Amino acid sequence: MAIRVQTYDSGPRRIQAGPIDPGAPRGAIRDVRGTAQDSLLADVLAAGKQLTGIAIQEYVKDETTRVSQSLLGMQQELNAERDRYMAENKGQDAIGAGQHFEQFARAAVQRRLQDDKFSGRFAEMFMKQASGAALHFTEQGQAYGRQQKSAWEESVLQGDMEEFRKLVAQNYDNQELIEFNRDALRQRIEGMRPGMDNRALFSRLDSQTAGSIIEGYLAHDDISGARGALDKYRDLLGGEVNRVEASIASHARALESRARAEAERARAEAVTNRVGQWIAETKGLAPEERTAELYSRLDGIADMKERAQMAGLVNSELAFEKRRDDAKVMGEAYELVQAGKQAGESPLVFRQRVLSSSASEAARKQALEDYNGELKTNELNMRALDDLRTQIDTRQTLGDPMTRDEVYAFAYDRRMTTEQTNKALTYLDDGGNAGQLRQTSVNEAFLTLNPDKKKADVPEWLYEAVRMQLQQEGGGKALTPALIRQYVARAMMQGTLKGGGWFGAWDSGGVRYGKALTEGTAQNWELPVEGDDA
């Protein structure tokens, strides 16, 4: 009989006590503790991730800034090298600019990449930007090289052509030499400009060559040669033909004018020398005899134009010599008379001293006539003194003051006395403004008061009368035009002399106060009393 062994189910048993289900999991208490730990871990992980992200962002920012800084520094280095190279290398020296710029840029990029130690995407970022900058820098160098090469070639070409033009101008009449050098220049041009159409340049060269040949003839005043060259090279000149023809015609006219001027100069020189010879040959003759001899020689000149020119020279020379001689005579006479008056010499003593002096005969005669009273003050020489003062004023105004010799010559020619000459010299020494009173001011005052009169009507004694009134009042007044008119009006007052009676109107010989003043009779002058009989 079999024995039954009791077996138990391994599955969980459900034991329930009241509302508590014994079969329910007991993790309710464990779940509370696990949720807090997980939350803390999550927060830590999140914070770590956030810190890592910030660090990465800072790294990217810093590296990017370093890349920009490096690129900026490299660009500045490239710019500095570009400026230096372009300043130091011109023309032929700059032909290799493209290669130099490329090598410099490549070296700069490599140096920056190595020094700054970029890696990863930052190295890529730097290389991308640096390569663009290096390429642009290289293109700048290539463009500069081409530009300088072109300028160098053009400079050489123009210099070569300019030297050829000079050679042509200097050897304008050596056709064989010109053609030899022209052919050689054309060959050089073809070598410098291979494959290019040089026909326009050769045409310009031929035109300039023809023009230089013609200019060479003109430079040597060879009008015939220039016209012959124009006919020969007319086709080569092209559009320059009219200008060259005008240049030849203008030069021909200038040569003709120059030839006429030279002929006239030579003729004038011959005439002048001939008159000079006549003047020298007649030097010892008396003035009247000399003048007659010179005019007799002039009558023998058949050419009327030449005779008129020679007559002008003769008259001018005689007038100059007369003024010079008159000045010398009057100057000597003036010194003799002034010395005699200062010494109070008697006429006899004065005569003895004059006759024993070394003065010329004319000067001795003038001095004796003046000292002895034979040369008297009169209306003519008084008016001459007024005219002389006016001339002194005019010359002073024009900036060409008169000289003492000119005053002497004028005084001798117009028979002025030594006293009048002394007044003129005083006026001259004061710059034509004696005591601030000018002859022209007196004349203007007279004409203002007498608008129907002319300058010739100004009394010869009027200036002296105004001067004496000014002197009598002791000066101190501003010498205005109004004051001068006042003195002139007073000088022109008509009156009578005591014991002389009334002489009627001025035009019929009345006595003017100014005239009486200058003649020393003013003390006897008085205004007429109304109602007096003439």
pLDDT bracket for residue 507 (50, 70, 90): very low
Amino acid at 466: V
pLDDT bracket for residue 1 (50, 70, 90): very low
State yes or no: pLDDT of 366 exceeds 90: yes
What local confidence, expressed as pLDDT, does residue 23 receive? 53
pLDDT bracket for residue 35 (50, 70, 90): low
What local confidence, expressed as pLDDT, does residue 34 receive? 56
What local confidence, expressed as pLDDT, does residue 29 receive? 45
pLDDT digits (tens, 9 = 90+) for 371-412: 999 999 898 999 999 999 999 988 888 889 899 999 999 999
**How would you label 486-497 residue by residue, b for 16+ Cβ within 10 Å and e otherwise?**
ebbeebbebbbb
Rounded mean pLDDT, 168-193: 87
pLDDT digits (tens, 9 = 90+) for 56-81: 788 788 888 888 888 888 889 899 98
State yes or no: pLDDT of 15 exceeds 50: no
State yes or no: pLDDT of 430 exceeds 80: no
What local confidence, expressed as pLDDT, does residue 499 receive? 61
Rounded mean pLDDT, 485-501: 83
pLDDT bracket for residue 501 (50, 70, 90): very low
State yes or no: pLDDT of 22 exceeds 60: no
pLDDT bracket for residue 32 (50, 70, 90): very low
Taking the C-alpha atoms of residue 312 and residue 314, their distance in angstroms, rounded to an integer, is 5
Taking the C-alpha atoms of residue 468 and residue 516, their distance in angstroms, rounded to an integer, is 12
pLDDT digits (tens, 9 = 90+) for 193-227: 888 888 888 888 888 888 888 888 999 999 999 99
Find all residues with CB under 8 Å of 157, minimum gap 6, and list them: 189, 192, 193
Strands of the 511-512 sheet, one edge to the other: 511-512, 494-497, 525-526
What local confidence, expressed as pLDDT, does residue 506 receive? 39
What local confidence, expressed as pLDDT, does residue 80 receive? 92
- The Cα-based distances of 19 to 12, 25, 26, 405 in angstroms read 18, 14, 14, 164
pLDDT bracket for residue 53 (50, 70, 90): low
Contact 362, 443 (CB under 8 A): no
Rounded mean pLDDT, 277-284: 91
pLDDT bracket for residue 531 (50, 70, 90): low
Rounded mean pLDDT, 303-329: 92
Contact 353, 337 (CB under 8 A): no
- Closest by CA position to 85, among listed 141, 143, 149, 154: 141
What local confidence, expressed as pLDDT, does residue 36 receive? 63
Other C-beta atoms lying within 10 Å of the C-beta of residue 377 = 16
State yes or no: pLDDT of 8 exceeds 50: no
User: At CB < 8 A and 24+ separation, what contacts does 109-118 make?
Assistant: 109/74, 109/134, 112/70, 112/73, 112/74, 116/66, 116/67, 116/70, 118/63, 118/66, 118/67, 118/70
State yes or no: pLDDT of 476 exceeds 80: no
Contact 251, 226 (CB under 8 A): yes
* Residue of higher predicted confidence among 180 and 56: 180
Name the percent of the chain lying above pLDDT 70. 85
Q: Extract the tokens encoding 18.
A: 């009241």
Domains of the chain, residue spans: 37-152
Q: Extract the tokens encoding 419.
A: 């006293």
